[in-house]
Structure 1
């Protein structure tokens, strides 16, 4: 469970966790791009249809949904709920 005091060490740990989550997403996105480019290009070279072959895009499509979910889990909580939403809610319940 997170501690909610504003000491420099706590803020540093929260910042480190946030940067680690963002870094994980960026690595996931880079791997997604590299692997899917390889799959699409190799499928277009092997097939007679070129880039019109839809089979090469299925992996990118379904993996793209996973990448989107990863991005939402990393960026959406602070974007949708605000930066200090969790802390404000805890304070609200503690004041009741």
Structure 2
């Protein structure tokens, strides 16, 4: 059986791992979107006088910023989970209780002959 200190240590260890995962996700998001948006802005500046294919330019602009937008939504959900916002915490607590009850019933069934 685990002691309280071991259990606390494991929870803290998992929390640190989750935080590192979030910060890595955030760093990749910032780097990739900086490159995508930076290259797009460079293209806009270099082609400021050219309106050869305006439809393609509009499509490219839409897709450039939609990547940052939709990925940002995913990043926001990741932050919600990592920083223990109520929605996910309540769900986790309910699931933990449910699994503990299932385990208890399974053990009771195994004891009975």
TM over 0.5, shorter chain: yes
TM-score band, normalised by shorter chain? 0.5 to 0.7
- Distance of 2:78 and 2:13 partners within structure 1: 22
- Distance of 2:98 and 2:28 partners within structure 1: 33
- Distance of 1:63 and 1:89 partners within structure 2: 40
Matches within 5 A, 1:70-89: 70-79=71-80, 83-84=84-85, 85=88, 87-89=92-94
Greater length-normalized contact order (CA 8 Å, ≥ 6 residues apart): 2
Q: Looking at CA atoms only, which structure, 1 or 2, has the larger radius of gyration?
A: 2
TM-score (norm. length: structure 2): 0.58
Please point out which of 30, 35, 53 is paired with 2:34. 30
Deviation sequence 1:55-87 (CA, Å, 0-9, x none): 43421211321221111111135449x725153
Q: Flag structure 1 segments of 5+ consecutive residues without an equivalent.
A: none
Q: Flag structure 2 segments of 5+ consecutive residues without an equivalent.
A: 1-6, 102-113
Report the RMSD for the aligned CA atoms in angstroms: 2.8
